Amino acid sequence: MPKQKAPRKQLKSYKLKHINKTIQDGDAVLMRSSEPGKPSYVARVEAIETDARGSHAKVRVRWYYRPEESIGGRRQFHGAKEVFLSDHFDFQSADTIEGKCKVHSFSSYTKLDSVGNDDFFCRFEYNSATGAFDPDRVAVFCKCEMPYNPDDLMVQCEECSEWFHPSCIGTTIEEAKKLDNFYCEECSPQQQNLHNSNSTSKNRDAKSLARLE
């Protein structure tokens, strides 16, 4: 009669001796890439289990994809530290975990005073089979109507509160940093003299939405 495998133990946390860190369900971790020279994979720990003796730990992870790993590839508005929470789950040896990291919400990431090597942000969930995103629409800004990239400097109009890329308003990043006040073309004093206030009023809260494909 074949010998039955001993049941594995489910754990809420586990001490990784090789990095002297304790992981638990919900932690974001960096996992060793199978391809030399490539950056570590980013994943979220969904479950931890060991054998009956408490060794040979495995983690069930949900992978974060980098933009270049998605079907559509990296686009102009994707941040350097942006990742997508995918529907791709996997079991991996806990020994492949290289460290812990932090995956922030988009809003929290934009408020960081400084971004460390282990800081990432996520604003989309990603279907790895179809390439679809959730949400599938995102607010756009500036004359170029691009979604916001937190790595790019933008300047805000004092009147309408819309944001603009320096290059889209004919200036440089260095010059934009020196601006004390900025008015876009539609809100500049010269334009206000040409149009009455009713014809140039804007809905301050409404934003155009771009569909992600």
**pLDDT digit string, tens, across residues 82-130:** 999 999 999 999 999 999 999 999 999 999 999 999 999 999 999 999 9
**Percent with pLDDT over 70 in the chain:** 85
Q: For residue 18, what pLDDT is reported? A: 94
Tokens of 176: 């934009």
- Would the pTM of this model clear 0.75, i.e. be above it? yes
Q: For residue 207, what pLDDT is reported? A: 53
Q: Is the dihedral of CA 72, 132, 165, 200 positive or negative?
A: positive
92 neighbors 58 (Cβ within 8 angstroms) = yes
pLDDT for residue 176 is more than 60: yes
Tokens of 83: 């990742």
The per-residue pLDDT for range 56-93, each reduced to its tens digit, is: 899 999 999 999 999 999 999 999 999 999 999 999 99
The four Cα atoms 130, 122, 90, 131 give a dihedral, to 10 degrees, of 10
Q: For residue 55, what pLDDT is reported? A: 76
What is the SS3 assignment for 2-39? CCCCCCCEEECEEEECCCCEEEECCCEEEECCCCCCCC
Tell me the residue type at 148: Y
